[in-house]
């Protein structure tokens, strides 16, 4: 198993990972991955910025990823006017619960500190206990509940915002 920075040559495998996790219909609001060309364009814009984007590989297969984009990069600035990171992560179903999420998170947060990013935020569904447990373990804290939503599976759920302040 290896954790390493994302490369442009990972784009097909990354798209497959997003497609598989989206298709589960349980964790994300979208039912499908974004189009691969849209993901490639985003990646080409992000890679020169050396952002915290890491992947987990098992036997040369990409099985997990994490990305922390500056809010301004995603057009998600808030009223504070301060820059902050917006986190997303996913691990293939067959590889969950084996510590990959923890290792991806550790690598990404270490990179954030090096970049001088002092706040990271994310949205997670209250039903997603493994994800919330992982975030709490890294000292992310609940900030507020977001508007209720209906998942692609048809199940209603409640997203919440969580925040980590980096020292």
Catalog residues that contact ligand COA under the rule CB under 6 A: 21, 27, 89-91, 96-102, 122, 124, 128-131, 133-134, 137
Contact yes or no for 162/121 (Cβ under 8 A): yes
Min dist CB 4 to ligand COA, Å, is 16
Nearest residue (CB) to ligand COA, 106 versus 115: 106
Min dist CB 128 to ligand COA, Å, is 5
| Residue whose C-alpha is closest to residue 123's, from 167, 79, 164, 86 | 86
Cα separation, 85 vs 73, in Å, equals 9
| CA 143 to mean position of chain CA atoms | 18
Q: Is residue 139 left, alpha or beta, with left meaning phi > 0 and alpha meaning psi from -120 to 50?
A: left
* Nearest residue (beta carbon) to ligand COA: 101
Min dist CB 81 to ligand COA, Å, is 25
Nearest residue (CB) to ligand COA, 81 versus 156: 156
User: How do 119-125 and 85-91 pair as beta strands?
Assistant: parallel
Nearest residue (CB) to ligand COA, 44 versus 126: 126
Nearest residue (CB) to ligand COA, 2 versus 44: 2
Min dist CB 136 to ligand COA, Å, is 8
| CA 95 to mean position of chain CA atoms | 16
Min dist CB 127 to ligand COA, Å, is 10
Nearest residue (CB) to ligand COA, 44 versus 112: 112
Contact yes or no for 17/24 (Cβ under 8 A): no
């Amino acid at each position: 198993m290896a954790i390493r920075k994302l490369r442009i040559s990972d784009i097909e495998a990354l798209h497959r990972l997003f497609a598989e996790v989206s298709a589960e219909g349980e964790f994300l609001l979208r039912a499908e991955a974004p189009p691969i060309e849209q993901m490639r364009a985003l990646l080409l814009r992000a890679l020169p910025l050396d952002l915290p984007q890491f992947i987990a590989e098992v036997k040369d297969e990409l099985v997990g990823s994490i990305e922390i984009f500056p809010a301004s990069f995603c057009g998600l600035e808030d009223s504070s006017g301060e820059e902050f990171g917006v986190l997303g992560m996913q691990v293939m179903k067959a590889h969950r619960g084996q510590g990959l999420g923890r290792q991806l998170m550790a690598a990404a947060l270490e990179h954030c500190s090096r970049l001088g990013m002092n706040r990271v935020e994310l949205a997670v569904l209250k039903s997603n206990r493994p994800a919330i447990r992982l975030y709490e373990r890294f000292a992310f804290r609940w900030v507020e509940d977001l508007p209720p939503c209906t998942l692609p599976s048809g199940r209603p759920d409640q997203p919440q915002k969580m925040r980590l302040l980096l020292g």
